[in-house]
A and B are shown apart, each in its own frame.
Chain A
Amino acid sequence: MSWRFLCDLLSGVNKYSTRIGRIWVAVVFMFRLMVYAVAAESIWKYEHDEFECNIKQPGCENVCFDHFFPVSHISLWALQLIMVSAPSLLVVFHVAYRENREKRHNQKLYRSPGELDGGLLCTYLTSLILKTGLEIVFLVLFYKLYNGFKVPRLVKCDIRPCPSTVDCYISKPTEKMIFLYFLVATSCLCIVLNLSELSYLIFKYSIKCYLKRYIKKCQ
């Protein structure tokens, strides 16, 4: 099990997406998954080993690291990628359900099982809302857990068994900060894409419904 599974999932979703949805998939692939896998993971690889406190007291470093990094940036990043891609599964399941239904009844029930209309449109809109919501939740979580998106060079720690207030140094803080800002920027871009897609779909289908009603009235 690796990121390949997520790639395959996103490729499957691409088939049933609108144009903006395909841009979203491309952004997630290139600027989030790839950057995570080929660059970001290696920065945080030895973060615990390289976290150094100005003290020889055993256990002090462990306790201070745990206090300042309850969940590591990189683990939160991975969770965010998985959670944000997961709502797309709703669309895949709904299309599979439609195809199964057609097979069972042995007749054409839909114009095309993958076409965005009726129930599938509602599912698609729901997945968009969930994706946007989850992006915002994770951004807020990042902000609250780490007091903003800055990574300081030095943190002061006075938790037992540290005998007094001790200076602890974080490794590669500037590099980590640059990648965190990159993460925030791509998250915001994905939120904008999701909201645009939502508005576009709502607008398009409202116009369609209005026109249908207008034609019926004229008839």
Chain B
Amino acid sequence: MDWGSLHTILGGVNKHSTSIGKIWLTVLFIFRIMILVVAAERVWGDEQDDFVCNTLQPGCKNVCYDHFFPISHIRLWALQLIFVSTPALLVAMHVAYRRHEKKKQFRKGDRKCDYKDIEEIRKQRFHIEGPLWWTYTSSIFFRLVFEAVFMYAFYFMYDGFRMPRLMKCNAWPCPNTVDCFVSRPTEKTVFTIFMIAVSSICILLNVAELCYLLAKFFLRRSKRAGNPKHHPNHENKEETKQNEMNELISDSCQNTNTGFSG
């Protein structure tokens, strides 16, 4: 179980996303998950071993480390990525539910179902409209909330995004105020700022996607309100009726022909 499994799960959602959603997914995997796995984990890998306090008092280092890093950056990022990816599962589950319903219709031999085989249903791409629009929009909203909450948590816990070189600690059992030195503070600051910047870009992409979906929704509504005759369902019914009439005409023509040819 690793980030690859998440890629498999979310890859399926990509087909049904908007263009902005696809960009968001790419940014998530390349600039956040990959960076976390190949670089950040190495930088924070030795964080407690190389956290050094200027004292020989046993336990002082442990206590000071725990005081300044209640939860490590790397774990907080991992949690953030998991929470931010979870709403996409809502969309995946909704799509799977719709596919399941279509397969049921197909197996019953329903005339409304115009698929040639099950494979076509499996490969079909659903447009973001109707109930799927609501699911998709809710998932973007939750993503935004989780991103914002985690960014605030980072800022609140570490007093900003900078990693200091030296921390002064006087928690018991340290005998007095002791100097503690963080390992690789500059590299950690650089990565922290990078991850925060990419988080902000993801927030902007989510906001843009939300605005795009809302704009599309209101435009569609105003078109329908302005011209009810050109309602898509109305148009489809008209087209189907015309198709049926054409079939009847062509059938009756064939019968007449055979009648004459016979």
Contact = CB atoms under 8 A, between A and B. Distances in A.
Interface of A: 2-4, 6-7, 19, 22-23, 26, 29-31, 33-39, 42-43, 46, 50, 52-55, 153-154, 167-175, 178-179
Contacts of B65: 171-172
A34 B6 contact: yes
A132 B82 CA distance: 25
Contact of A172 (B1, B66, B74): B66
Interface residues of B, number: 32
Interface of B: 1-3, 5-6, 9, 48-49, 57-59, 61-63, 65-66, 69-72, 74-75, 78-79, 82, 85-86, 89, 93, 96-97, 173
A38 B2 contact: yes
A153 B1 contact: no
Interface centre among A6, A43, A154, A172 (most CB of B within 10 A): A172
Given A30-B85, A31-B86, A179-B75, 20 more contacts: A23-B93, A26-B86, A33-B1, A37-B1, A42-B74, A43-B72, A43-B75, A52-B59, A54-B57, A54-B58, A54-B59, A153-B62, A153-B63, A154-B59, A167-B58, A169-B173, A170-B62, A171-B62, A174-B66, A175-B75
A13 to B, nearest CB: 14
Interface centre among A43, A168, A175, A179 (most CB of B within 10 A): A175
A72 to B, nearest CB: 17
Nearest to B4: A4
22 contacts: A6-B1, A7-B1, A26-B89, A31-B82, A34-B82, A37-B2, A39-B78, A52-B59, A54-B59, A153-B62, A154-B59, A167-B58, A167-B59, A169-B58, A169-B173, A171-B48, A172-B69, A175-B66, A175-B72, A175-B75, A178-B70, A178-B71
